[in-house]
Amino acid sequence: MKRKGILYLIADFSRGEQVIEQALKAGVDYVQLREKNISSAEYLRRAKRMKQMTDAYHTPLLINDRIDIAMIIGAEGVHLGQDDIPVSEARRILGPGVIIGATAKTVEQALDAQKQGADYLGSGAWFLSNTKQNAIPIKEETYVNILENSSIPNVAVGGIQVDNCHIPLKSGADGLAISAGILASTNIHDAVMGFRIQLGEK
């Protein structure tokens, strides 16, 4: 996984395929498929379609939560939350070549995930977002402590927009995990380029 300047898209199919393809064409580094409240069969169908799209742009695909679906479609990785199976079990099942990301909201969670074999961390929420309206915003001090005590890349997540992403970047974030900040934009290409500029200024 990249160490710095990571532009990481969190996507579902709620806005259709076209906006996802526009983001891929504009040039994101990774895509995480995050679907909620759908059947396993439908999740698998969407994951297969997303894999076709990401493969066309040579972009690694990670599946949120579902290791089984990631294995079936040959995804490049998975992202696991605190309520999902342990990173160590995922690593045992998936092997060394698959990217495993973990959510870490505290230093303890970050160190535990790193020890278990995570390749990167996602920490937040930095700001309120439509996908996680009840999330408790992370304190900047906590985020900096996570960075200082872990040695794997960390992407800032949660309500990230072009006009606020400088805040986590100034705190030391290695990258940005973005959903609506790209997919809800009226101009997907310009949104991606805007984030790229901010990442380049880090």
Binding-site residues for Mg(2+), in ranges, read: 65, 84
Instruction: Please identify which residue in the block is written with the tokens 């997919």.
Output: 183
Q: What are phi and psi of 112, to 5 degrees?
A: -65, -45
- Per the annotation, binding residues are 32-36, 64-65, 84, 103, 129-132, 159
Tell me whether residue 136 is exposed, middle or buried, using C-beta atoms within 10 angstroms of its C-beta: 0 to 12, 13 to 18, 19 or more. exposed
- Which whole-number Å values give the CA distances from 188 to 6, 27, 37, 162, in the listed order? 17, 10, 26, 12
Token pair for 66:
């579902």
Tell me whether residue 41 is exposed, middle or buried, using C-beta atoms within 10 angstroms of its C-beta: 0 to 12, 13 to 18, 19 or more. exposed
What one-letter code names the amino acid at 25? K
φ/ψ bin of 20: left (φ > 0), alpha (ψ from -120 to 50), beta (otherwise): alpha
Token pair for 117:
């074999």
**CB distance 114 to 86 below 8 Å:** no
**CB distance 171 to 146 below 8 Å:** no
